[in-house]
Structure 1
């Protein structure tokens, strides 16, 4: 018996694995965990899943159950698990598929074991365990068989004492009225459309109703036993709870559209979307997930949503509901808050970081958001119009883009627009700080300047900084990179550079030592001034020449001779004008 059960279980497992792998058409990714080895309680753990296709949807699984989803822009996904506990122990794998279609999945990665002291870890199926489970199952079946025989014997004894049971056909008889009949302990139950009713005159003094995993077992004794259960729904433990997400995340404006994604772990299921007790029409799916679109969003759509699924043939055996997700409506009349980060720049690991959010309303709840996370990181109900969020002992898992918003306490699903983002960059101790140099060191206005930055790791992304201003990052397949700058007056100042991995932009090296870029004063150009001076001098000389010529030619050329004979000789030598001849 035990061997037969073992073979049956192994055969079902192999059939499931072959059925799932039949539609995978992407290479399996690689999965790594940091830190490795035995992880201490409360430590932060990061899983990195690297695929071969960019723009995919990555899914992290623990012991075969999906727990996290990421949509990175590249071919790598980071899954942080802060403050691990014993429940986080287990065997992790990751897969990926396209965002638009879920029929094509990659092979699962090789498993990575996460061991936390005090955790249960992964159960290893050894032959002694399998044999023990099989023996326990055999004993349970024998006990159940004995119980059924005891119930049958007691029923026959009651017939022998003169209690004539009302016997109906063993097969369900569904007539035109849609009724189904069954006999339990000599009493007739009449079921119609999922509701259980008693016959008009059931005898016996007491009732006992037991709810099993799959079916309702009722032993009815006594008159007028008040048993009625409308729409009995049983949770099926073999259906793991699904995951739910919204697109877009973080909130939607009135009149906009939002999509609710529900991802299960069984194919060909019927999915149901629930909102605080309200059920949307179910949707059948041939894959693992289904989409519920909500168009023209209004105030009543705000709230908590969850989803579940069940087999199409067994509508009352349902999975556990997913964790709830909030649909928040953005109110444009609420002013956008402001946000600040202290300290700024690259933060050392283990330091305390404070994020302040300033609004313009009181009696509100502030929420801190980190890009990529489905739910807000923290929330606070301050007495005034500002909130302070403390992130103690930061690590690389805290790096990212942060923003904040607020909601009126009277309207918990109505939110303001998010603030601008601030970048929390955490230094990575394994990245030594780079070196920086300028060529040439001084350059004139309009000249070209080359800033060279080199580190100690290949294939990094380099960032150039000037007095808190960040230039466009540049990727390099080597150890160094060169930034080219066409000089203008605003480029003068102190420069530094840093680098980080392309997949982790918020785990960065310390900045290099600063270098100063000085703009040379331009040499004075006197060419135009000299030309102007020469032209002015030429004009002055020309004017003086004209004046002299006019004075020379405007004097009279003849004058009367002197009557004194002594003066006639002198006048003859000077000419008639009294001046030497030849003016």
Structure 2
């Protein structure tokens, strides 16, 4: 039964991996060019490859040949082309992304068009007229010189200022034209067109003259944001910026700032720029609320644009700050739910207060609630990497009075967790015998850390500081660290950048070692001198006595005994001869005296074996006695 169950699980895992591999193969990245895929010769172009499944390896292909491969974070890679050339760079580009050994399919091809002066400039026209009513179908025609065949070229409709490609026509027989069916106010703008070769290199003409198209009715919605921020203290100077999309007309427009509580216009600004600022100096708590803006083109029959999205300005007041908590916790896996609860302080419970959830760096409030109690619950469903960040909340009454913002609560999504960093204190290069601390720095909620060293076991602990005491050369090596994600013990972050720890031999240790060696040599020299000074000086041969004395002092017992037992007869005879030697005469001797040292050992050997001849030398000495 157990074997069957294990077999089925193995088959399921294999099928799961096979499906994942097929999904990875099917999923394609997206490739686009900035500022545009249509550029003049000599300009710089950035090709961006965006992965859909979080891969971090990217390849750029040109004309089906691999050009460059790189690693990148945040699921996107940039490939920069400097000073593009119409022959070298006006080609077809594709990209793909990978993770480990798996690679995605190549993206859809992107044709990079380089505009040159090699072709005549086309002309552009519009039908029925440049100024039309909403829901009208507009036809824009792009024409080239009659001397050229349009069948060899593609035609592109561009936004005149940014050169963004709006439409492409691949003609076979008919004349090139672009259709804008049922236009709205957002279609108001400037248009131009170009044509370029169908085959690489994609050399193109210069853009045509600009065509101004105006569609009456509501203009496109503007955008409103605040500087320095949405949550400010009383007395702060605030600027609300209102920006609009490009229009066909470059004349001035009238911007208007509104407050939604009264729906009365607060300020007006006339400007031909794409944005303008409304100043709110020294704001007060009563200035808090929702703001919107509009703009009006004087050539569009005086009809204003749509309102921008509401901007909730929070001016903190005298009410105490609330508390913000997360359930089940601040660390969330992708796709899971987390609930943020904003609660008033217990000593200042106000009924029917309005709670607002804010995210630091976001221009708009995330959620607002007016519950019956003293707290509000804000759900964050199926969180993603972009949901990670710092959150805070406020509450206000109808007086109006606004509370101080709560303390910042940081929410972490595990697939957006930052890579840790590893550092050494006091330094990464230290002397042996000292202590060193390796610090693994991660998010503040991290409780479990792991230290990795090449060729060694990992060290896992609940502290970020790893202490190495009295280090030696074996502690040298390459270290990295990681930390645990969430409550799942199998989830760990990627390793930090490697840290090379170098342990060098201390100069003090080397000095002590040399001192010990010098001391031992000196002791040995003194011992030799001591032995030489106290050697018994025999009347006959002091060198032989020194040899026997040194042997007995320094060699083993067996060696010394064998040496003494070697010539016992010689020493005995020498002693007897010395005893029988007559006393020296006091009378001076005028003759030379010759002494001979007889080798008794040799004489004895000749008595036993007279045929052998001694090879030892006999020493003669002649003394002249004056």
TM-score, with length taken from structure 2? 0.36
TM-score, with length taken from structure 1? 0.39
Structure of larger gyration radius: 2
